[in-house]
Structure 1
Amino acid sequence: MDASESTTEEREPGPRPPRRRGRRRWAMDTRPLRRPAYRRLWGSTIVTAVGSQLTAVAVPKQIYDITGSSAWVGAASLAGLVPLIVFALWGGAIADAMDRRRLLLITNSGIAVTSLLFWLQAFVGLESVGALMLLLAVQQAFWGLNAPARNASIARLVPEDELPAANALGSTVMQTGQVAGPLLAGALIPVIGLPELYLIDALALCVTVWAVYRLPSLRPLAGTAVRRAGVKEIAAGFRYISGHTVLLLSFLADIVAMVLGMPRALFPQLASQTYAPYGEGLALGLLFAAIPVGAVLGGLFSGTFSRARRHGWMVIGAVVAWGVAITGFGLSRNLWVAVAFLALAGVADMVSMVFRGAILLSAATDEMRGRLQGVFTVVVAGGPRLADVLHGTAGSAFGPRTAVAGGGLLVVAVMLVLAAAVPALRRYRV
């Protein structure tokens, strides 16, 4: 296992904290927030987590208002996915070749300008789907360049033993944004109108740019700089993953959980058929909200697990728990029981995210972290979309409940086989 490199100034180690007692033993571990640099990065995430969701709601809403077609909404999603994948891989290589703080400044500024252009086209009443799709592609390209640098920077701002806590703090904020953002957008559109949602996002991103500006320099460590960021360097990142089994398994664990066990494509059918007696609208809203809510709860109580040192076992257990919860959801006919199982799945997903992220940051050298985070961004973005295709097809062939329960069982089986066949993940610990 390659040890990550650091400096005293970047890590700001400080004294070992006292043993936590009472409710602090299970409440969220906030040790990373004592690090000023990490606190600035995390604080900027709070603002943008909600703001970005306003734009995520506004774009499909505006496209549907213009066209009256869900097919165009789906096409716009694809228009955003392709540049996200391409630029996340390239952005990971760039993050290993230049000062990550500088890259964050450039990309956050680019996202802010794009949000301002979204506001401008809506304000003047352009009503052009082509313009919206182009802006969405540019925005996602900037996001693809931004995410690897942001995630890779965390290991330079907190000590290794605080990486799970730092990941829990960041993931909790993002999941909270996924719940609060759409609710806020739905409440604001009738009051202030659609264009202003874009403007709020643009203003929020100005706060992010200021927070990033105040970060310390995050140049490549001495003797590790990558001279360029091309195809050769991207390929080197994939070779690095394939040569480090624990890293490869951390990616495979997420692919197994998301591709085989993410049932969101079947939520509309389940809401209209299985849970119709509860009210289709209520059922659909609860199904979509349950996993993010569970993830937020998992983050709020992350003190129960964030100090664990056997990161490999935590990933294995979390993915298996996800599969069991999804199976329980598929077998449930009662809406409230189904929501409870999805919420448990959200908790398991939070645990998995925390420790997979910690493994990627701690088991890799600093000059490779950007490229690994680029691949991680692609896996996180692409896995659920592949799951939509797989579950949609299986749901049509076997029925939604069978498809969901079968997918959950496959997650459990495949993860246990991987854990048994390849011991590297089981043995990994900080």
Structure 2
Amino acid sequence: MRASGLRAGRGIIVDRRPLGVGAFRRLWVASAVCAVGGSFSLAAIPTQLFTMTGSSAAVGASAMVSLVALVVAALWTGALADVRDRRTILLAAHLGLALTYAALWTQSVLNAQSVPVLVVLVACQGLTFGSIMTTMGAVVPRLVPAELLPAANGLSSLVRYAGSILGPVLAGLLIPLVGLGTLYLFDALALLAVVWAVAKLPRLEPVRAAKPHRGDHPTVARIVAGFRYLAASRLLVAVLGVDLSAMVFGMPIALFPELAQRTYGGPVGGGPELGLLYAAYPAGVFAAGLLSGSFTRARHHGALMAAAAAAWGVVVVALGVAAQLWIALTALVLGGAVNFVLSTFRNAISQALTDDAMRGRIQGALTVVLMGGPQLGNVLHGATASLLGPRTVICVGGLLTTMTVTVIAWRVSELRSYTMSTPGP
């Protein structure tokens, strides 16, 4: 009885099977170090920029600069990763990010702070981070077998969200003690762990690289070919459509300050209510990651992804109608959990389904959706909330998410029937 209970427990806690692959284990452990010790700049850069300018608009503008740079890097690096050694690209990107943090530390230590210089470094951060996200998505399928991709993506998401929770909290505690500049140095040093892990990887040359048409710019032609490949696959289009629906219609983060103040009685300028709203979603993601063994062994990846996205829409509606803070927090925790399932199977499907010669470009498109979708959602929610009110907009967004996902799943039978063993095109 006790042995069976232990086996059942191992079946629902974190699925650690990919850690049996040495290359992935080294990369994951290094990423865990960097997720916390290398994420201080997420809080340090906006803090420094606001201190220098006294303007939240400047902070917002720098975020858009970073996003544009990230999108460009994702598309460009995705094309490059399909014709070059992915280990070399990943190594160069991490070294570039470490040098960016070193430059941020230098300008702070030398007291040579300049808004234009800081914005340029923010752009460099976006370029290197976009390259890392895209190339890493193309590298992991070469390190672990296809049946372990859901578990590998779950482990990666677990450390990423742990960093998003712990990193800013530690940064807030450390800024008064060591100053902003030292946080940049911590980020640079933490990245050295990932540089070491990437350097230990084997060479990851493309299995088969398609040649561009004569007379075309090679990289642009490869990007175009990647979008054609994507458009030709109903399943890949459906995967992106489901994810984009959830991110654009159902991600009301921009409305949290208004909800905290006007619905849940928080103070002007932010308070515990606002902090709890922001923390609830990643807490749900992290909790689901700790129980990833309960679903990463499942075979019906397409149906699970669609169901998770539809459930996210329902949870968003619950957030919109919640009149009490504890109900809203419960909804966000549940939302984080189902979105962990959604992202785990989205990555697994796209990685397993895509031919290796196109994997970099498809990962680039996914990176654009992953980062650009919530930003577009922020714009959409912010613009409509002033007309309809935040709670109405949140409810409508949740309904649109569930309806859109349901239509996509109904129209694209390949998504409903896709299993782990389904061959790619």
Distance, in Å, in 2 between the alignment partners of 1:394 and 1:224 is: 45
Distance, in Å, in 1 between the alignment partners of 2:278 and 2:260 is: 10
Distance, in Å, in 1 between the alignment partners of 2:273 and 2:218 is: 47
Determine the structure 1 residue equivalent to 2:107.
121
Which amino acid is 1:230 matched to? T
Determine the structure 2 residue equivalent to 1:179.
165
Determine the structure 2 residue equivalent to 1:191.
177
8 Å contact kept, 1:93–1:229: no
- Give the alignment partner of residue 67 of structure 1, picking from 30, 53, 58: 53
Work out whether 1:370 is the aligned partner of 2:360: yes
Determine the structure 2 residue equivalent to 1:14.
none
Work out whether 1:205 is the aligned partner of 2:195: no
Determine the structure 2 residue equivalent to 1:299.
289
8 Å contact kept, 1:41–1:211: yes
Distance, in Å, in 2 between the alignment partners of 1:38 and 1:277 is: 44
Shift of 1:278: 8.7
Shift of 1:202: 0.3
1:199-254 deviations in Å (ceiling 9; x for gaps)? 00000111111111011111112x44657851110011111111111111111111
Which amino acid is 1:248 matched to? V
1:373-397 deviations in Å (ceiling 9; x for gaps)? 1111111110000000111112111
Alignment of 1:48-127 (within 5 A): 48-127=34-113
Shift of 1:185: 0.4
Alignment of 1:20-419 (within 5 A): 21-221=7-207, 223-224=208-209, 230-276=219-265, 280-419=270-409
SS in 2 for 1:97: coil
8 Å contact kept, 1:278–1:335: no
Determine the structure 2 residue equivalent to 1:9.
none
Shift of 1:149: 1.2
SS in 2 for 1:53: coil
Which amino acid is 1:43 matched to? V
Query: Which stretch shows the higher mean deviation, 299-308 or 224-233?
Result: 224-233
1:14-66 deviations in Å (ceiling 9; x for gaps)? xxxx9982211111110000000111111121122123421111111001000
TM-score where L is the length of structure 2: 0.94
Which amino acid is 2:284 matched to? G
Distance, in Å, in 2 between the alignment partners of 1:213 and 1:344 is: 38
RMSD value, Cα? 1.6
Distance, in Å, in 2 between the alignment partners of 1:408 and 1:53 is: 31
Shift of 1:127: 2.3
Query: Which stretch shows the higher mean deviation, 46-55 or 174-183?
Result: 46-55
Distance, in Å, in 1 between the alignment partners of 2:175 and 2:72 is: 33
Distance, in Å, in 2 between the alignment partners of 1:278 and 1:33 is: 45
Distance, in Å, in 2 between the alignment partners of 1:229 and 1:368 is: 14
8 Å contact kept, 2:206–2:356: yes
Which amino acid is 2:338 matched to? A
Query: Which stretch shows the higher mean deviation, 377-386 or 139-148?
Result: 139-148
8 Å contact kept, 1:96–1:226: no
Shift of 1:304: 0.8
Determine the structure 2 residue equivalent to 1:5.
none
8 Å contact kept, 1:93–1:370: yes
Distance, in Å, in 1 between the alignment partners of 2:31 and 2:188 is: 14
Provide closer, same or farther for how the CA distance between residues 69 and 330 of structure 1 changes in structure 2, counting only shifts above 3 A.
Answer: same
Provide closer, same or farther for how the CA distance between residues 244 and 129 of structure 1 changes in structure 2, counting only shifts above 3 A.
Answer: same
1:78-97 deviations in Å (ceiling 9; x for gaps)? 11111111111000011111
Distance, in Å, in 1 between the alignment partners of 2:218 and 2:64 is: 26
Provide closer, same or farther for how the CA distance between residues 97 and 229 of structure 1 changes in structure 2, counting only shifts above 3 A.
Answer: farther
SS in 2 for 1:230: helix
Provide closer, same or farther for how the CA distance between residues 273 and 146 of structure 1 changes in structure 2, counting only shifts above 3 A.
Answer: same
1:301-345 deviations in Å (ceiling 9; x for gaps)? 011110111110011110011111111011101111110100100
Determine the structure 1 residue equivalent to 2:423.
none
TM-score where L is the length of structure 1: 0.93
Which amino acid is 1:192 matched to? V
1:72-129 deviations in Å (ceiling 9; x for gaps)? 1111111111111111100001111111111111111111011000000011112211
Distance, in Å, in 2 between the alignment partners of 1:342 and 1:166 is: 24
Distance, in Å, in 2 between the alignment partners of 1:124 and 1:41 is: 34
Distance, in Å, in 1 between the alignment partners of 2:364 and 2:70 is: 10
Distance, in Å, in 2 between the alignment partners of 1:338 and 1:384 is: 19
Which amino acid is 1:159 matched to? P
Which amino acid is 1:410 matched to? L
Shift of 1:146: 2.0
SS in 2 for 1:273: helix
Greater than 4 Å deviation, 4+ residue runs: 225-229, 277-280
Identity of aligned residues (%): 45
8 Å contact kept, 2:315–2:398: yes
Distance, in Å, in 1 between the alignment partners of 2:5 and 2:367 is: 35
